[in-house]
Structures are given as structure tokens and as C-alpha cells.
A and B are shown apart, each in its own frame.
Chain A
Amino acid sequence: MVFFYRTLLIALGSFLVLLPVLGQQNNTKLITGDFQNVKFEQFVREIEANSTYRFYYDPALMDTIKVNLQVQGKPLPVVLEQALKPINFTFAIDQENQVYITKGRAIELNLPANFFTPGQAGAVIAQNNVINTNTAEPERPRTRSTSELKLYEIGNSRSANGSGKATIAGHLRDIKSGEAVIGASIYIEAPLIGGTSDQFGYYSLTLPVGRHEVKIKGVGIKNTRRQIMLHSDGKLEIEVEEDITNLKEVVIEAEKDKNVAGMQMGLEKLDIKTLKQVPTAFGETDILRVILTLPGVKSVGEGSTGMNVRGGATDQNLILFNDATIYNPSHLFGFFSAFNPDVLKTVELYKSAIPAKYGGRLSSVLEISTRDGNKKQFAGSGGIGLLTSRLTLEGPIVKDKTSFIIGGRTTYSDWILKQLPNSTLRQSEASFYDVNAHITHEINDKNTIYATGYQSQDKFKLGTDTAFQYMNRNASLKWKHIFNNKLYGVLTGAHSIFNYNITSDKHESTASKLTYGINQSNVQADFNFFLNPTHTIDFGASTILYQVSPGSQTPLGSKSLIAPNILSNEKGQESALYISDLINISPRIAVQLGVRYSMYKALGPKDVFEYTSGLSRNESSIIDTTHYKNGEVMATYHGPEYRASIKYILTDNSSVKASFNRMRQYIHMLSNTASMSPTDIWKLSDRYIRPQIGDQYAIGYYRNLRSNTIETSVETYYKSMRDFVDYKNGATLILNHHIETDVINAEGKAYGVELMVKKLTGKINGWASYTYSRTLVRVNTALASDMVNDGKYYPSNFDKPHDFTLIGNYRFSRRFSTSLNATYSTGRPITLPLAKYEIGGAQRVYYSQRNEYRVPDYFRMDFAMNIEGNHKVRKLSHSSWSLSVYNLTGRKNPYSVYFKTENGKINGYKLSIFGQPIPTVTYNFKF
């Protein structure tokens, strides 16, 4: 009884005062009587007198109610229905014949099915004689829940029988800005059922009907919970509070047991607040730089944002900025990443077990999401650094419905160059900017539109000679439609442009301009279907149209003698269908199975050379030219891509996960520098260049220590790749009319072990990772002249076996913290000239085998201090200072090693980009 009363009290909330009225004992359950204009109180008394029923109601509500009723031997429910329905009161009768009268909704008298034993459905028999006056309304108005204590009723109590489970869905939003909260965990504890909010802040949980305490934990938000009473499928919009100080380590909470319990393996998730702590060269938060500290992610050198994920090439990463592909993610040759930290929300890197939704690249998917903009009030933030400044503004256009965020960033290194004593440098120019704009519009409960625009541009001029310029321009439009609690879909259209040009005007007669451009348009539809607690199904389709201008060199100025040299355009279409199912076999075992079928068509117009078969393709083996008309299919490639992963929870704090995935890639980057540079060319698959195919097997063991405050993981992988692009000896890549003569399809394998220890709470936090990995390439063709290193496996350009990274933060107080980075890795492979000799009177150079040697090892240490202003929540602006020293030890790490012929002598040089400690000060503000 005690329990019953407590339940009842909570159920009724505070508005109902219980008035227990003792009725007389009577066995008759049929009511007979003539009630003409009697007070409700009297009506009750009469019934109680003639039956075993006892009534409970709020006398204050009922004192003006009059009953006009004539009944003859009717059961009480019928009588009460007649009496109460016209006045919008309802009632409920329990097994003890106690009658509860409430206004509007009937109270729930029975414990929901599975209340104590959630695994078994339908154990408690419902005896529900309730009249629900709300049945006419198909759905209740959306609840915006903000209170932790209030009980939110979800769904319709009448339909709450049968399965015993119901789906609750909705969005997690920031209470102040109305922005979606991405990647937060939402779960109940007993039994442990949970999920995470997606990129729209949308979540969906299928729970046993009944009362639950739903907990919400996430990056950058205060942990919170909601009390719900789940009757049937329904909506719960949850508004959560932002955690204001950057210094507080909220990250931990979100990730707490994800390491062990999460389905995904090989996923690295970073929040902008984590990113901001890591010291960088110019005090500018740089997402790519932080990603490079994660296990399994490497770069060939600093000043390069090209990533090599688990032995993959730099072109094997799909970089998505709000679902639009970014081709060059860096500014100024890779010194800055091209993403403004102020507009970013989260960054997710998939290294293995890549969801079926993604395709088109072999190694990884880097998904970058921007914030949605404050829906409630106008706000801004920015930073002033030594070389760059940034400003971001955001606010509502229509409060709670439409918001915008716009951010810009620029550099004034040009100004500094002008101050230099050296006249050549004074004539140099270096500048870049990037602009982001994002609008979110909530049409209604079920439809939301997101529009993003992005542009970044770089200009760089060396002395008076050569000017480089490159640009990324992207736009994406997304429409999210919620069909019902279990199904939603997103339709995305995006357009990406990347182009560069290099102008050289030192000599009038050779002044020329070299250009390259690629653009892609894609449309995709993605659906997410929460079939039942066991199956969550994702499916969708996409198509991408690529258009490439592979290069042109044109004369600059009337005196230039350069003959125009223009390569014909390329066109291709990549389409895919996918479906995947997440199956929760038991609380301990979950499996995700998926397949993606992709298809690529190389399209005309184009003239394609035909080569003598059985001979190395080169200019002298060209025998014919085939002309393809516009839109004509020149080559078709297609195939399935399998994705599978399994999670097995061993104990509460340890688990094993394994995955397999196959990827296909139809676009290749041609680069003869090992790092990513703006002169890289993206080449589409064609008659001769086959798509790359990669398989990855990965297995990992995850264990959390000290009540989830320390995460440890060991992941090992084996990868095989075929048909990725490598270059023949002596390949020429730029302005090559027959690139197929200079590239070969190579095969590769990569394997490694990644160890990681992460502690994200406490005064001391951070992570340490060690990776041992190898990545090997083999070019073994039937033609001896095309073979590299005699057809044996050789280290790829980015094979760096040992890699150790430490990111450590120490928090002195909420306002003052320091961090220290240390990173060590083996030097990257290089082909060295070993000797020179004369044959036929001409000097020749004898090189080592390809990538036979290595540049010196890499070591760097950085230090940063963050000083926050005071933490009064209400003040005009919040500001912080960050001071950092990059490369504390001043070690001259080689960025590149190269050789040059000078006066008939071959000299070797080592270029270190950051050869000295680089101190930086940045001022950040937020209003």
C-alpha cells in the first residue's frame, strides 16, 4: 500500500489533494438511483453507502459539480462515465474498488508491464476501465522538458498494452541556444538501454512502458535526467544546459563507458572543447593537428595536414563538412587547417568499422559538424592571435525556429611580410580566409532544414616569382523529415568545388598560369529506422557527379611564348545503395551488418588512347585514339562493400569488438610530394585507372579502470589494398595528357597495433598512445620495366613504424590550466641518391631502392597555458587568454629532405619548418 500511495502521489503531481473518504462495506456493484441536481459530494456518499467503492478526489475541484443522472442497476463505470464525461472528468477504479476522480486524464492505476522485470512483457494484467477523454487527439502537443523532477507522461495510456515496449524519440537541445546536442548519451540504467543523439540531436529509445529515469550525459552539457512515464510511443524534447566553463572536463562523462559499451570501434570523437586545449603552432585551435595525435593517424611531416590513417594514403580520407566533401582541408600549405574552430561542434573520425552510409574512400571518414547557431539570443565569439583573427556571430532569425551562425577567419601575415628587411620577402604575399555560414530552420515538429555554405581561399606568392592560389567552396542543404518515432530520413544535396592556379611571371617570355579544378555535386537520401529494440536499420542511396578540369597551362601576358596546353575534362558518376542493421542480440552482444553497393561510370566526352597490349604503356606504345561522346560510358566499375562489426561485453568494464569492412574508391589523388600540397591532382577512375579496393580487419580489447575514469584500449588491424595509384619510375604527373602511362595500380598491405590510455577526469588528464604500424606497397606487374623495387614489398611514403604521443593537461584551478604535448615518431622513408656516374658522356645518378632509407626521427614537445576570465555566468563577455610554445625543445625536425644540382654538384638539404620554439599569445572572447 505504501508503494501504491507513493506512486499515486507522484502520478497526480501536486495538483490533486487526496481526500480519502471511507465508504461502507457493501457487496453490490450495480448502482441504482436517481440523482437530480445533487452535489457531487452527496452523489459519492450515496454510492459509497450502497457499495464497497471508496472515492478519492479533490474536493475543491468538485464542490461546484452537480450530478443529474438516473440509473437502474448499472455498473459503476457506466454510471461514472455518464456523470463525468460531459464535464471532462475521468476516473479510475482499482482492484480494491477505490475510485479516483481526476480532471482531464485518468490516472494510471496499474504498474506498467515489465515494471519490475523488464525482460518479460505482459506479466501484469492490465485492468483498465479508464475513459480517456483525449482519444480524439492523435498526438499530444510536444513536450519541452526542462525539469529533472517533473514526471513527463509519454504517449497514450490506452494504447499502452500489448507489446509492453514503446519508443520515445525527440531532440536534445541546448536550453540557451536551442542548438542540437550531438553525440550525447541518453539512457536508462536498469536495464541498461541507451543510445546517442545523432548529428541533429535526434534520439530514439525503445523502452519498456512504465516509469523511467532517463539520464542524459554529453560533451559540453550538464548531466541531467528526466522522469518519464512511458505509455506508448511518444515524443520528448529535452532541453539541457550548457556547461559554461571550458575548463571543466565534461568530456569524460560523455565518453565514460562508451569505450567499453559503445558499438563503434575505431571511432575517435573530439569535441571542440577538447580540441581547444591542445597547443598548436600559432595558438589557433586546429582540429586536424589534434587528430594527428590520435593513435593510428599520422602525417608525413609538420606543416602538412594530409593524414595517413592506418597506413592509408592522404587521399583515402573522406572529409565531410556538414556532408559536403572537402578536397583540401588546409590553409597555407598545411600550416592551418581550413576549419574555423568557433563554428565547429564535433569531429568524428572513423578508422575502422566504417558505417555503410559512408563510402568512396578507403581509409577513414572524418565528419566535421558545425554548430547550429543560437536559437534564443544573439551571441558572438572570436579570437585575436599573432597571425590570424576570427569572429563568429550567431543568433535567432525566428526565435526557437530559425537560427544562423556565421564565422570568418583571416590572416594578416601579409602585413608582417611587408615589415621584413629582405626585399624579396617584402614582395612576397601570403594570405588566406575562410567563411562559414549555417542556417537551421525548423519548419515544424517533423521537418527541419539545414543550409551550410563554406568558402576558403589561399593566396601565396614567393618573392616576385610564383603565386599559388587555391580555393574550396562548398554548399550543402539538408532536409530532415521525421516520419514517425521510428523512422526518419534526411535528404542532402551538396556541391563542392576545389581549384587552384599557379602563376609564374618572373620572365615575360615564360609567364604562364597553371590551373586545376574539380567539382562534385551529390544527392543522397539516408533513412534511419528503429524497427524494434533489437533492430535498428539504416538505409539510403546516393549519387555523385564529378567534373574535373585536370590541368591547363596558358600564357600570361602578350609577350609570353608559352604555348597553351590544356588537358581535356573528365567526368564520372558514382552511385551507391546501402543498408545496415544493428542487431542487439543480447545486452552483451551486438552485431552490425551492412552492405553498400557502389557503382562508378567514367563518362565522356573524351579522347582515350589505346595502347599495345602486353607492353608498358608509354607514348611509343599508343596505337589508336577512341573518341567518346558526351555522356557516353567509357568504363564501369561496381561492387559490394561489406561492413560488419560485433561487440561482446565481457564484464561491466571490459569488452571485445571486431570488425571487417571493405571500401571502394573511385577518385585518386596524384601527388609526387609525400605530403598534401595544393598542386595535387584528383584523378577519376577511367579505362586504365581502376578503383581502389581496401579490406580492413580489426579487433580490439577495451577496458575501463577506476570506475570508468581511465580508459584503455588495444586495437589491432590488418588491411589490404589493391589498385591504389602508385607511380612508375620517372612519372610526370602535371599536365600529362596520358597519365595512364605514368601511373600503375599497386597493391598494399598495412598492419599495426594501437595502444591507448586515456584519462579525462581530474586535475591531471589527457591521453597517451603508442602505435606500431607498417604499411607496405608492391608493384608487381608482368612488365619488368614497370616494376618498382623488383616487384617486392617496400615501405610506402608514410610508413612510420613507431609513434608515441602524449597529451597531458594539468588544471591548477577552474581558471588556470596548462597542457603539454610530446610526440615521437620514426622518420619517414625516402629514396636517396647514392652515387653518380657517367654513361655515354652524361652524368647519371644512382638511386637507392625506392624508400629504402628514412629521414631522421621526429620529436616535438609543446606547452600551453589557458587562463580564463572569471566565471560569472551573467556578464557582457567571457574572455580567455592562451599562451603556447610550440616545439619547446627547438628540435629541427626535417619536413623534407631534398637534393639539388648546384654548379654541377649535388647537394642535400633538410628543411625544418619549425626549427625553433614558437611562442604565441591568443586572446579569445565570447559574448
Chain B
Amino acid sequence: MQQPFYIGTKVICWSFLLLATACIDSYVPDVVDSVHSYLVVDGFINSSGTTTINLSRSQRIAETGKPQPEAKALLYIQEEQGGQFALHESKTGIYNSANLNLDPQKKYRLYIKTAWNKEYASNFMPVIFTPDFEISPNIESTGLQIAINSEGGPEQPTYYRWDYDETWEFTSIGQSVLDYKNNRLVPRNENIYRCWRSEKPSKINLTSTEKLSVNKLVNHPLVFHPKNSEKLRYKYSIQVRQFAQTKEEYQYWEALRTNTEKIGTLFDPQPTQVSGNIECLSDPNEPVLGYVGITTMVEKRIFIDKLNLPASWISKTGYEDCRIGLLSEDFPPPPRGSQNPWNYVANGALIIIAPVDSANITIDYLYSTANCTDCTLKGSNVRPDFWR
């Protein structure tokens, strides 16, 4: 459903029952309000490299803020009937292993013992190898299709999952050369015009070759950007991480994918209880969230320059709603009237872009709002290390 039709519950009762004043009450059932602090295990066992596992706790539904990390736990990658490799807490709740090369003939699991001596473990699972892949940016009539080409081994179908980071270069509405400090205009040193923005969409991307006659993905669509996308304005980069996984893990991610966080609309999908492959050994009834697979990760990055895209594609700037105004230096009445634009310049809500050449003695300045002028509000003005 592209355009959500909200059932106007409030309006329904209002319009029919003019007498009923409070139809909608805040309602939080006790069970929802109580703390369900379940262990959340986020990460995978990297069979050839460093494994990073994030441990945290689930939060109350109404809570805001970041989830609480689970510190001081003991984590091991255990071989079935074999040895184990410890993980070490690098930051609170983040555990890293050494660079490992797991035996593909063996089965492994993740074992966790929390600071409260509760034990958790994932199922023993085989090591899966992620095949290599290529990212191909395909120019289509309506936009840019970023697709995956990959070929797995001949034996069995491959279940793929990807996540990716996108980074693109952009500029604000105008390059500000002046800064306002201590009630006067000074030359601006910092670049707030050209920035890079990075995003990591939370969308879960999955597919399998089960239905295909060969274990091969040809131009499997991953991301699509319409030809006017602001991401394609100057230069765009995408880094894709490919994971192969077992069918069970694939089904877990599929269930998680359909469980959106958007609730309360007429066209909501049915919510799902999603459980992963980790069990609490101390209390089998305690839910544990997350799925820890064992695989390798293949990572690729590409850059797409505007020059390589059709010239007819005009990108949006992301600043379509912005306006540039003209401000006179001796704007009356100095200095305190709340309507005086210089007050907004002083508090940073407006930013002077540049002076305008004028025959008059007074100088006019181009200005716009901070949101339109300061690109650091949307991205970072530090050129990423990988940028080229």
C-alpha cells in the first residue's frame, strides 16, 4: 500500500457521537508496559575473519533512547565436540574474536554467559561459504538499477542476504562565504556547502536461487534510484555485503522483514512473533532475540559518477523547498526587535550566503535558513576515507 489510508478513528467517534468527548485514551496494557528485557544477539560468526557480536537488551515499547548494551558477558565460538575461541569485549556490549579460520567440515555455535551467569547458545550449525559477486549499475529508462551478479557452487541453492551502505556527495543551496560571529560578519573557514551523506537502510534484502535452474543470480535487483534521485547528483557510492545463509536463517530474515515496525494503520500486516536460533540454556522459556549464522562475508564497493549517467537525468537537490532572501545591512530597527532578521542570523537560524554587489552604499546579503545552507545538518563535511 503506497499511500496509507489511516482509519480516522478519532474522527469516526467524533463525528457520530458529538456527545462522546474522549473516545481515544492512551492505553498501555500492563504486559506491554512491563519490562521485557530479553537478550538481543546481533551479528554472525565469520568463518574466515573477525567475528563481531553486539549484545544488547530489548526495551519497553514506550521507551526512547538507545537500547542498553549487555556488558561483561563471556562469549565463545564453540566447535561441536571440539575447542572454543573466546570473544573479547572491545566496547560496551561489542565483542570481537581474533581472526579465525573455521573448519568447514565442522559445526560451530555461539555460547554466551552473561554477567548474571545465565547461559545462552545458538544451535550448532555448519559453515556456509558466501560466493563472490559483482555489483552492476544498470542504466534503465526510469533510473539506475543497482543489481547483483553472483554464482554459487553447483551443489545446492544459495540463500542470499545483503546489506549495504550508501554514500553520496551533495551541496547545499548556496556556498556561504561569510560567518556571523560576535555580532559581525567574518569570512567563513569551514566548508558547509559540500558534504557527504551516508545511509544504511534497515530494509532486509533476501533472495534465493531455489527456483532457478542454475545456482546463479543474474542482475538481481538490489536498489533502484529514480533518475532524478538526489543521490545521483554528483557522485554516489554503494558498499554491499553479501552473506550466504542456511534456509532456516533465510526464513528467519524473511519473517523479520514482513514484521514492519509501522503499526496502527488500516492496512497493517499481521504482526509476527519472530524467534531466532538462540536458546537460553538456563531457562528454555526465556525468549532470545536474534539469529547467529556462520558464514563468510564478501564486501564490494562501487562508485557512480554523474558523468557516467545520461546527461538528461536532472537530479533533485533536496533543497527544492528552500528560498534565498535579500537582507540589508542596516536593517531597521537595530538591534533587538524580534522581527529583525539579524537576530535570526545571530542565533544561527539564518545563514548569510554572500554579499550582493550593489551600486548603493548599503550592502545587501543573500541569506537562507540554516537547514538550506548548512550541509552538515544533512551529512558530514568530512570527505570519507574511501571516497575517490
A positions within 8 Å CB-CB of B = 303, 332-333, 335, 387, 413, 416-417, 420, 422, 424-425, 428, 430, 462-463, 465-466, 502, 504, 510, 512, 514, 553, 562, 612, 615-616, 618, 620-623, 672-673, 677, 679, 727-735, 784-785, 789, 831-850, 853, 892, 894, 896-901, 904-916, 918
Contacts and interface: CB of A to CB of B under 8 A. Distances in A.
A844 B7 CA distance: 24
Contacts of A905: 62-64
Q: Nearest 10 pairs between A and B by C-beta?
A: A730-B258, A842-B202, A910-B27, A729-B272, A900-B264, A462-B8, A835-B58, A835-B36, A837-B58, A785-B251
Given A623-B211, A908-B27, A913-B13, A847 B61 contact: no
Contacts of B208: 620
Given A622-B211, A896-B9, A844 B268 contact: no
Contact of A838 (B18, B23, B40): B40
* Residue among B11, B31, B58, B210 with max Cβ neighbours from chain A (10 Å): B11
9 contacts: A303-B12, A425-B15, A430-B15, A616-B251, A836-B58, A836-B60, A850-B272, A900-B264, A910-B26
Interface in B216-274: 248, 251, 254-264, 266-274
A244 to B, nearest CB: 35
A840 B63 contact: no
B6 interface: yes
A839 B256 contact: yes
Given A727-B269, A729-B259, A836-B63, 20 more contacts: A420-B14, A425-B14, A615-B210, A620-B208, A620-B211, A621-B211, A729-B273, A730-B260, A785-B254, A785-B255, A840-B202, A845-B259, A845-B271, A847-B272, A847-B273, A909-B24, A911-B9, A912-B23, A913-B12, A915-B23
A899 B264 contact: yes
Contact of A727 (B62, B204, B270): B270
B328 to A, nearest CB: 37
Nearest to B59: A836
Contacts of A335: 16
A589 to B, nearest CB: 49
Contacts of B271: 729-730, 831, 833, 845, 847, 850
B270 A416 contact: no
A892 B25 contact: yes
B24 A910 contact: yes
Interface residues of B, number: 79
A897 B2 contact: no
B90 interface: no
A105 B27 CA distance: 83
A833 B263 contact: yes
Contacts of A918: 17, 19-20
Contacts of A732: 1, 267, 269
B355 interface: no
A916 B19 contact: yes
Nearest to B11: A462
Interface in B185-225: 200, 202, 204, 206-208, 210-211
B319 interface: no
A420 to B, nearest CB: 7
Contacts of B200: 841
* Residue among A335, A553, A840 with max Cβ neighbours from chain B (10 Å): A840
B211 A843 contact: no
Contacts of B272: 729-730, 847, 850
A161 B146 CA distance: 95
A848 B207 contact: no
Given A841-B202, A896-B9, A620 B207 contact: yes
Given A845-B61, A906-B61, A911 B24 contact: yes
A839 B267 contact: no
A313 to B, nearest CB: 15
B20 A908 contact: no
Contacts of A673: 266
Nearest to A463: B11
B290 A734 contact: no
A332 B17 CA distance: 12
Nearest to B9: A911
A835 B31 CA distance: 10
B42 interface: yes
Given A844-B261, A904-B64, A908-B29, A838 B42 contact: yes
B26 A838 contact: no
